[in-house]
Amino acid sequence: MQCKAKTRSGDTCKNHPIKGSTVCRMHGGSSPRAKEAAARRLQEQAAEREVLKLAHPITVDPSKALLDLVHSTAGEVAYWTARVDHLQSTDEKRLTNGLTKVTEGKDRGGVTTLRQVEATPAVEYRMLVDAKNRLAQYASAALRAGVEERRVKLAESQGALVAQAIRTVLDGLRLTADQQALVPQIVPQALRMLTQ
């Protein structure tokens, strides 16, 4: 792999990039920001290799998978909302201000430290926004896929199966006429109790 940067002559740099980076040390690969990005890329690549080694295919109903994503992401939104609410009530400044840069250097013979604080959203707030965006995407995809319609059809088919099973049981019991007269009252009551 080669450095993606261009040389002064306009040619592609011939150096090898820093591990996990796309550029060599001469083209910014040694900067703190590039090192952080490279470390993050290496972690992601290691995680992807781990998943490929250990993950096994699972047969799943796509509509159920979408609903599971909606439910778990809704849980994330609730969690991050609680964290942001807690921040607002205890440390409101931290919600929007953060230390973004610390620079040390020499000024007129002495060592100085410059601390730069900018209005940047707290990580909790960024995670909340990300979770809300993903929830909106998953919910929209679920609606487009007709998940709710499928759930209704599934419930209807399950209801038909239960009704058939009850009919089979009642026919097998050979009930008297008086007992059969009670069936329309007792069976619906018992089924309603299941849904409560």
pLDDT of 13-52, one tens digit each?
999 999 989 899 999 888 988 888 899 899 988 888 888 8
Residue 173 vs residue 117, higher pLDDT = 173
> Is residue 190 included in any domain, yes or no?
yes
Mean confidence (pLDDT) of the chain: 83
In a domain, 176, yes or no: yes
Based on C-alpha coordinates, what's the Rg of the chain? 31
What single-letter amino acid sits at 177?
A
Rounded to whole angstroms, the Cα distance separating 151 from 137 reads: 20
SS3 (DSSP) at 3: coil
Find tokens 């088919």 and name the residue: 157
39, 71: one domain:
no
- Check whether 156 has a pLDDT greater than 90: no
The domain tally of the chain equals 3
> Would you place residue 97 in the very low, low, confident or very high pLDDT band (cuts 50, 70, 90)?
low
E strand spans, the chain: 97-107, 110-119
Considering the domain boundaries, does residue 89 fall inside one?
yes
- Specify the pLDDT at position 17: 92
Is residue 127 located within the same domain as residue 166?
A: no
* 140 and 68 in a common domain: yes
Q: Could you tell me the residue range of the domain that residue 175 belongs to?
A: 159-194
- Shared domain for 48 and 70, answered yes or no, is no
In-domain check, residue 12: yes
Report the distance separating Cα 61 and Cα 55, nearest Å.
18
SS3 assignment, position 132: helix
- Provide the 10 A C-beta neighbour count for residue 59: 4
pTM score, two decimals?
A: 0.50
- Which pLDDT value is given to residue 105? 66
Same domain (yes/no): 72, 52: no
In a domain, 150, yes or no: no
Domain assignment present for residue 165? The answer is yes
Amino acid 90: pLDDT: 84
138 contact partners, CB below 8 Å, separation of at least 6: 66, 69, 70, 73
What residue type is assigned to position 75 of the chain? G
